[in-house]
């Protein structure tokens, strides 16, 4: 930390006024269902992003990183920045900044910013949201120098603004990452519920040990279309369910549609089994109409020709049910049940949602063979990390498994005024 302050002073010639630290997150279960409105169950990590900041009179945002891999950027103010896809790293900073400026209608002031982080990037631990949330909180604190920031906005408000503003990089994610990183409290995982955003603290069994390991593969979600393709396919499932049950619902989220159709998870699962595995674009237009298809598509999925339907629906409904079962297993200290649900979740991600890769599949298997009671990919997938659950009484061969870290539920974003 002392080094970071020295770095800041050397770079900008002034002392930092603010420090914000934002964790990453490990999702224990509930993958690719937040954007359909279903609850998820992550914990915040000890690895985090730290940013130092001070107001400047140069009428620009100066954005720098201690890691030279991330090039510095200067944004003159006022700025017409309105998103970037694919993004450079500083675009994540601008997401958080713009979310706050827009919401509060601030006349933006110049800010010096210096970032440092140890969350492995593009690895499912949500390094991206950590930058977005840190940037948003810094922006709010710089524009409200006299106030306790969480009197200006609640943590829920901050998380919701950040979830929305991260979409400026093009990914149509839900709000899990920002909520986990902003709302977390040390010592417990969170069950996050959406619309409205709320969270329950989930105590993890004392003898549960969560180990995070890296598969070696990575994927920047905003640089490719896989993520949004899955979002689109889920929306088409939503439209098909509404047609099947002859119901109306303006939302494209499966949870809202499930509610509108008044069906249980079991009925939803039974119904998607009657849908075709894949459908052509022409089939979709015939079933739901061109206008509805356009509502489902996003900027980078305009050219999709085929859509997987049955298996995507199966993943979302079964995963949403597993989150409820996992929360229950935590409450009853049933580590075996927790592990079984995690492994089932991985299979569902891999086979039905096709968001795994051979490196992740091999690593989960290696961990289960090495004594884990369950293991799964964490985050969006297509590379990145797994999370594996062990019982503390089990011997863990760290040399053989070479994990990144043992994950302890950490606290959410924190801000400190330095002067
Ligand atoms: P993740 O699963 O880590 O959130 P994303 O693909 O959503 O993966 O975001 C990764 C992007 O976040 C990187 O390509 C980079 O632009 C940015 N990023 C991550 N860590 C840092 C860091 N320490 N400093 C600057 N930018 C970072
Ligand atoms: P990561 O792993 O950070 O790219 C993404 C989404 C989440 C969620 C998960 C999959 C963003 C910012 N994050 O996380 O909302 O959908 O994938 O469960 O879009
Ligand atoms: Mg991300």
pLDDT tens, position by position, 117-152? 999 999 999 999 999 999 999 999 999 998 899 999
pLDDT at 260: 98
pLDDT of residue 151: 92
Please say if the pLDDT value at position 1 is more than 90.
Answer: no
- Under the banding of pLDDT at 50, 70 and 90, the label for residue 37 is very high
Cα 245 to Cα 247: distance, rounded to the nearest angstrom: 5
Q: In 271-287, which positions are buried (b, 16+ CB within 10 angstroms) versus exposed (e)?
A: bbeebeeebeeeebeeb
pLDDT in tens, 393-412: 899 999 999 999 999 999 99
Question: How far apart, in whole angstroms, are the C-alpha atoms of residue 88 and residue 71?
Answer: 9
Give 234-256 pLDDT, tens digit per residue.
999 999 999 999 999 999 999 99
Q: Is the pLDDT of residue 2 over 90?
A: no
For the cut 90, the answer to whether the pLDDT of residue 225 exceeds it is yes
Pocket, ligand 1, Cβ cutoff 6 A: 65, 70, 89, 92, 115, 117, 119, 121-128, 131, 220-222, 379, 384
Q: How confident is the model at residue 419 (pLDDT cuts 50, 70, 90)?
A: confident
Around ligand 2, the residues with Cβ closer than 6 Å are: 31-32, 34-35, 124, 126, 128-129, 166, 171, 173-174, 176-177, 221, 379-380
pLDDT tens for 353-393 read 999 999 999 999 999 999 999 999 999 999 999 999 999 98
The pLDDT score that the predictor gives to residue 161 is 98
Mean pLDDT of 301-311: 98
pLDDT higher than 90, residue 221: no
Q: What does pLDDT average to over the chain?
A: 97
pLDDT at 147: 86
For a pocket test of ligand 1, which of 20, 70, 122, 166 has the largest count of ligand atoms closer than 8 A to its C-beta? 122
Please say if the pLDDT value at position 206 is more than 90. yes
Burial class (CB in 10 A: 0-12, 13-18, 19+), 103: middle
Cα(28) to centroid(ligand 2), Å: 13
pLDDT in tens, 274-290: 999 999 999 999 999 99
177 catalytic per annotation? yes
In the chain, the largest separation of any two C-alpha atoms, in whole Å, equals 66
Closest CA to 228 of 160, 277, 297, 178: 297
Q: Are 309 and 236 in contact (CB under 8 A)?
A: yes
Atom 15 in ligand 1: residue holding the nearest Cα: 89
Q: Is the per-residue pLDDT at 14 higher than 80?
A: yes
pLDDT higher than 80, residue 330: yes
Q: Tell me: pLDDT of 418 over 80.
A: yes
Q: CB burial class (10 A; 0-12, 13-18, 19+) of residue 13?
A: exposed
Give Cα separations from 352 to 27, 148, 278 (angstroms): 19, 46, 12
- Determine the distance separating the centroid of ligand 1 and the alpha carbon of 114, expressed in angstroms: 15
What pLDDT score does 210 carry? Answer: 98
Closest atom of ligand 2 relative to the 178 alpha carbon: 12
Checking ipTM against 0.90, whether it exceeds it is yes
351 vs 355: CA distance, rounded Å: 8
CA of 160 to the centre of ligand 1 (A): 20
Evaluated on CA atoms 330, 336, 339, 345, the torsion sign reads negative
Spacing, Cα 87 to ligand 1 middle (Å): 10
Report CA(43)–ligand 2 centroid distance (Å): 14
Q: Tell me the best of 32, 34, 66, 89 to mutate to test the pocket of ligand 1, counting ligand atoms within 8 Å of each CB and taking the most.
A: 89
Residue nearest to atom 12 of ligand 1 (CA): 128
Q: Which of 34, 118, 151, 177 is catalytic?
A: 177
User: What's CA 152's distance to the chain center, in Å?
Assistant: 24
């Amino acid at each position: 930390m002392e080094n970071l302050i020295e770095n800041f002073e050397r770079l900008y010639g002034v002392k930092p006024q603010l420090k914000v630290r934002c964790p990453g997150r490990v999702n224990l279960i509930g993958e690719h269902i937040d954007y359909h409105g279903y609850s998820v169950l992550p914990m915040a990590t000890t690895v985090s992003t730290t940013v130092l900041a001070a107001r400047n009179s140069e009428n620009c945002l100066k954005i720098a990183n201690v890691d030279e891999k991330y090039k510095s950027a200067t944004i003159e103010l006022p700025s017409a920045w309105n998103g970037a896809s694919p993004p450079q790293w500083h675009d994540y900073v601008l997401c958080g900044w713009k979310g706050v400026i827009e919401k509060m209608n601030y006349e933006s002031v110049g800010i010096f910013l210096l970032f440092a982080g140890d969350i492995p990037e593009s690895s499912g631990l949500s390094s991206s949201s950590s930058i977005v949330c840190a940037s948003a909180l810094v922006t709010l604190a710089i524009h409200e120098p006299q106030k306790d920031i969480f009197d200006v906005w609640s943590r829920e408000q901050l998380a919701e603004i950040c979830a929305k503003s991260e979409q400026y990089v093009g990914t149509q994610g839900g709000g899990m990452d920002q909520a986990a990183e902003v709302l977390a409290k040390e010592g417990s995982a969170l069950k996050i519920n959406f619309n409205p955003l709320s969270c329950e603290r989930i105590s993890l069994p004392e003898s549960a040990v969560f180990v995070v390991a890296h598969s070696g593969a990575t994927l920047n979600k905003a640089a490719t279309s896989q993520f949004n393709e899955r979002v689109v396919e889920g929306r088409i499932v939503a439209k098909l369910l509404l047609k099947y049950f002859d119901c109306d619902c303006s939302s494209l989220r499966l949870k809202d549609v499930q509610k509108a159709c008044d069906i249980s998870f079991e009925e939803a699962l039974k119904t998607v089994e009657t849908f075709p595995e894949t459908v052509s674009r022409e089939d979709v237009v015939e079933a739901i109409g061109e206008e509805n298809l356009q509502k489902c598509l996003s900027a980078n999925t305009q050219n999709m020709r085929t859509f997987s339907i049955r298996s995507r629906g199966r993943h979302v409904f079964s995963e949403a049910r597993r989150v409820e079962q996992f929360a229950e297993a935590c409450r009853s200290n049933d580590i075996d049940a927790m592990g079984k649900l995690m492994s089932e979740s991985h299979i569902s991600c891999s086979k039905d949602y096709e968001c795994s890769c051979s490196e992740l599949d091999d690593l989960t298997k290696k961990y289960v063979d090495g004594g884990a009671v369950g293991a799964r990919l964490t985050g969006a997938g297509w590379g990145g990390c797994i999370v594996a659950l062990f019982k503390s009484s089990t011997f863990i061969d760290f040399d053989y498994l070479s994990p990144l870290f043992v994950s302890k539920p950490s606290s959410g974003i924190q801000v400190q005024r330095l002067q």
